[in-house]
Amino acid sequence: MLFLAMAAAFVASIILTPLVIKFAFRIGAVDHPNYRKVHASVMPRIGGVAIFGAFAVGYLLLRPEDEHAIGILVGALIIIITGFLDDMLDITAKAKLLGQLAASIVVVAWGGLQIEFINLPFFGPFDFGYLSIPITIIWIVGITNAINLIDGLDGLAAGVSTIALISITVMAVIMGDMFVVATAAILAASSLGFLFYNFQPAKIFMGDTGALFLGYMIAVLALLGFKNVAVVSLVIPIIMLGVPISDTFFAIVRRLRMKQPISAPDKSHLHHCLLRAGFSHRQTVLIIYGLAILFGVAAVLFSQATVWGAIVLIAVMLLAIELFVEVIGLAGTNYRPILNLVRMIGK
């Protein structure tokens, strides 16, 4: 039945997306080129409506049951409305944040989803206590915005989200959580169908409607699927979402170093750096897909590793990420502490 629901979501996405393209032009939900955009023509930008509609088709067909289901879906509706309003009216950042907070609070208060503790190597569980609710809300809002930040090239956010959802599905199968398996798999099928129209050269953008929806769902499903995993529970979804989290983290580092507001837009995100390095639009997207797959595989390996194996894996990953960031200039062109240290030792 799950495969039928996935197939229905995939086909629905392929059918709905052209209809959404026509609808977007009719209501004026379009993205105009500017100095920060890589596209040169007016593009419809409410593709998230097609993704959500396709997901709804598959979800209603299967109707997976879980105590968190209603809260997740109500929060998703709030996110979709928030994203749609932004795609239509360009609402303020504060208004978008308010919508994200509302969705997060709903899934925590109504759905009962919380990061209650983290398992630390050698120390055991660390209970967050009263901090569990704000930490959960910060996680959901943070990942929601991280997916939104990488939505800068044709097919990038949709592809990375699909890879993350497939990784979540695999991990949920290992954990035996069938609600997360079903929900993540149906959403992955919906996003994959949308990619037929969103991959370079795109015919439609997912817009904030899609990026916020996918980010919200990935954040929630990651927590729901791995909150009771042994070793270091919260580390697994962090690794799995390594691409958007790293891009967001180093964007903050970059802006702090340049003494700019954290929310200030720029053209130095991961995809911008790869484009400046000489890679084509399509090559850049495929490289980032590859990175997302590597992070997904690393998360699965981490979940099955011993404590020492997990520590070594994290250390190697952090070193590799740092070197990659320094080489492509993700934190700034003059940010090269390790490379400079190597050069000093070499002399």
Phi/psi of residue 30, each to 5°?
A: -130, 160
**Closest listed residue to residue 155, CA positions, set 108, 196, 190:** 196
Taking the domains of the chain in order of start, what are their residue ranges?
Answer: 2-346
The answer to whether 262 and 31 have CB atoms below 8 angstroms apart is no
Statement: residue 325 has pLDDT above 70:
yes
Query: Annotation-wise, does 228 bind a ligand?
Result: no
Q: Is 148 annotated as a binding residue?
A: yes
Task: Assess whether pLDDT exceeds 80 at residue 262.
Answer: no
Residue 210 vs residues 12, 109, 148, 155: alpha-carbon distances, Å: 16, 24, 9, 12
Over residues 81-102, the mean pLDDT reads 93
- Given a contact cutoff of 8 angstroms between Cβ atoms, the answer to whether 21 and 43 are in contact is no
Give the pLDDT score at 50: 96
pLDDT at 120 (0 to 100): 63
Task: Note the pLDDT of residue 263.
Answer: 67
Is 76 a residue whose pLDDT tops 80?
Answer: yes
| Pairwise CA distance, residues 96 & 337, whole Å | 36
Q: What is the pLDDT of residue 230?
A: 42
Inform me whether the pLDDT recorded for 333 exceeds 80: no
**pLDDT tens for each residue of 207-249:** 999 999 999 999 999 888 665 544 445 677 788 888 888 888 8
- Rounded to a whole number of angstroms, the distance between the first and last alpha carbons of the chain is 64
Q: Supply the pTM of this predicted model.
A: 0.89
Give the Cα separation of 39 and 154 in Å (integer): 9
CA distance 247 to 149: 8
34 phi-psi bin (left φ>0, alpha ψ -120 to 50, beta other) = beta
